[in-house]
Homo-oligomer: A and B are copies of this chain.
Amino acid sequence: MDSDQTPAAHSSRPEIGIGMVGSGFMGRSHALAYRSVGGLFDLPVTPRCLLLADMDMPSAERAARALGFERATGDWQALIDDPAVGLVDITAPNKLHAPIALAAIAAGKPVYCEKPLAPDAAQAFAMVEAAEAAGIITMVGFNYLKNPIITLARDIITGGEIGEVVSFRGIHAEDYMADPSAPHSWRTDPGSGGGVLADLGSHIVSLARYLMGPIDRVQGRMNTVTRNRPTHPGSAETRTVEVDDHTIALATFANGAQGTIEASWLAAGRTMQLAFEITGTRGSIAFTQERMNELKLYVIGQKRGRRGFTTITAGPEHDPYGAFCPAPGHQLGFNDMKTIEVRDLMMALAGTPDGGRAAWPDFREAWRIQCVIDSIAASSATGAWTSVESDGL
């Protein structure tokens, strides 16, 4: 080494060993976030992609190589038990979320879990209680909550810029199950958090709660349009579908507002219609994830003849966009939201909560979201308005 060069990046910061279970869509996105996060944010801890568990060793080895993890295992319990693992990250199939999380909690390790926590609120609540009793830091991956434009939307609401909110319209519609020949999978397994309300509806419910606050009562209707699907890809044999393709609901909020919630996975042509419009007594905001870097804002009192919605584009004024790019309008993408999620988690693990947002949404919040889901499902079954049985916050 030349005399005018010095080692510079030997970070003295503590590392946290990541043990990730699963390697699908979300596993890949998590791995990417761990890689990126330290280059974007000045974090007190450094995530280290240590150990990846998958259903068997060959799969795990393949995945570890692809995603840049140091070691692999075919046994998730071994991952939890590994002393070098400081965070258990669960991106495994939905069915395994609860058992893995409970085991991690039992081992006293922080848990980062993809949604849903569990197929129903009761099981989710057991996880909340276990985590809270053990004083474990938990976080659940709801992706879209971390978009700086969504933070802006919340700031606008909580700052009173649009007055008191009075209405909400929320939608999450995609079309990945629009084809009737799309076969059964975990998506159609009621015991696996299957059905569109659980799969996509949970995202719009998470946004509703984040922006509008607690939901009091719901009245929903679930519909199964494709009544039979192939048992396996390409199979001629079919089996009855027991989950919903399209669900709609009315909702009342603790703040007195009311609104609609809709989830569909057969919305032909829609690939990311996660959208809402919120009206307050002094203005409105409108958003669609299809244009995730834009928020439309209207505030009353504009000059005569110059009134209209303003289209705000994300830029460094909307934290933490500036960590990704110093210039406005250059746009974040899907994976960037996941990186912000991991940033928040790292801050929480280091004990430096960032404005109360660290380790949020946690298991308790995920359970509350699940309570809304369950209540919509219950109201669909009874045909009656149903109270959301969570502690209401």
Instruction: Decide: A71 and B7 in contact? CB cutoff 8 A.
Output: yes
Number of interface residues of A (CB under 8 A): 122
Chain B residue at minimum C-beta to C-beta distance from A315: B271
- Complex contacts, A1 vs chain B, CB 8 Å: 71
Instruction: Output the least CB separation between A190 and chain B (Å).
Output: 20
Find A71's partner among B6, B31, B306 (CB 8 Å cutoff). Answer: B6
Q: Which of A75-83, A123-131, A234-242 contacts B (4 or more CB under 8 A)?
A: A75-83
Does A383 touch B at the CB level, under 8 Å? Answer: yes
Instruction: Decide: B383 and A72 in contact? CB cutoff 8 A.
Output: no
- Complex contacts, A174 vs chain B, CB 8 Å: 327, 329
Does A122 touch B at the CB level, under 8 Å? Answer: no
What does the 1/0 interface line of A241-256 toward B look like (CB < 8 Å)? Answer: 0000110111010000
Chain A, range 5-22, C-beta contacts under 8 Å to B: 5-11
Task: Kindly report how many copies of this chain are found in the complex they form together.
Answer: 4
Instruction: Decide: A162 and B268 in contact? CB cutoff 8 A.
Output: yes
What does the 1/0 interface line of A281-316 toward B look like (CB < 8 Å)? Answer: 111100000111000011110101111111111010
What does the 1/0 interface line of A131-146 toward B look like (CB < 8 Å)? Answer: 0000000000000000
Does A178 touch B at the CB level, under 8 Å? Answer: yes
Instruction: Decide: B309 and A269 in contact? CB cutoff 8 A.
Output: yes
Chain A, range 42-81, C-beta contacts under 8 Å to B: 42, 49, 51-52, 57, 60-61, 64-75, 78, 81
Q: List 19 A-B contacts (CB under 8 A).
A: A2-B75, A2-B82, A4-B57, A9-B64, A28-B39, A166-B245, A166-B246, A178-B281, A250-B250, A264-B279, A268-B282, A268-B284, A268-B300, A269-B307, A271-B313, A292-B331, A309-B310, A309-B311, A383-B384
Contact surface of A with B, Cβ cutoff 8 Å: 1-2, 4-11, 25, 28-29, 31-32, 35-36, 38-40, 42, 49, 51-52, 57, 60-61, 64-75, 78, 81-82, 152, 155, 162, 166-167, 169, 171, 173-174, 176, 178-180, 219-221, 223, 225, 245-246, 248-250, 252, 258-260, 262, 264, 266-272, 277, 279-284, 290-292, 297-300, 302, 304-313, 315, 317-318, 324-336, 383-385
